[in-house]
Amino acid sequence: MYQSDAAHGLMFHRFHASGSLPKSQGSLNEIEFDLILQNVGIENILSPDEWLFKVKHNNLQSNDYCITFDDGLKSQYDVVLPILDKYKLKSFWFVFSSVFNGEIDNNEIHNIFITSYYDFFDDFFDDFIKGLDNFRGIIS
């Protein structure tokens, strides 16, 4: 999944290889990622240094973008780094750092559970809602 916001950033999370099923909701494959870059325009994607310089000097243009990857996931490295290298693009890589303090990334635990026991996120969500309905019946 990716998001584009007013700060001219393209934020990405999860990826999977083309030809395989997505392992999580919103996952993109390398073909979809490449198409997004093409749609935005490779020439419009700034390096982190360029983007920060323009932000600092209040000089971002409407077609200036940066790319960010959240949580430092292995799929980001495996699937998209070759594409970034192909276009000689640089990006921001934000790493989930709480694990270095012994904290658990609950989002990853939830993702592993869902992808291990469900073929599709919607199936998990349906069961989750049914469980909530059953729970509500118990405590009502």
For the chain, domains (ranges, CATH) are 2-95 (3.20.20.370), 102-140 (no CATH)
Q: What is the pLDDT of residues 100-132, one digit of tens each?
A: 888 877 777 887 788 788 887 788 889 988 888
Please report the pLDDT score of residue 40 as a whole number.
95
The DSSP bridge pattern shows strands 2-4 and 9-12 to be antiparallel
Residues near 9 by beta carbon (within 8 Å), at least 6 away in sequence: 65, 66, 67, 68
**Mean pLDDT score, 8-23:** 84
- Tell me the pTM: 0.73
Q: What are phi and psi of 93, to 5 degrees?
A: -120, 110
Q: What is the pLDDT of residues 25-45, one digit of tens each?
A: 788 999 999 999 999 999 999
- Amino acid identity, residue 8? H
**Terminal Cα distance for the chain, rounded:** 37
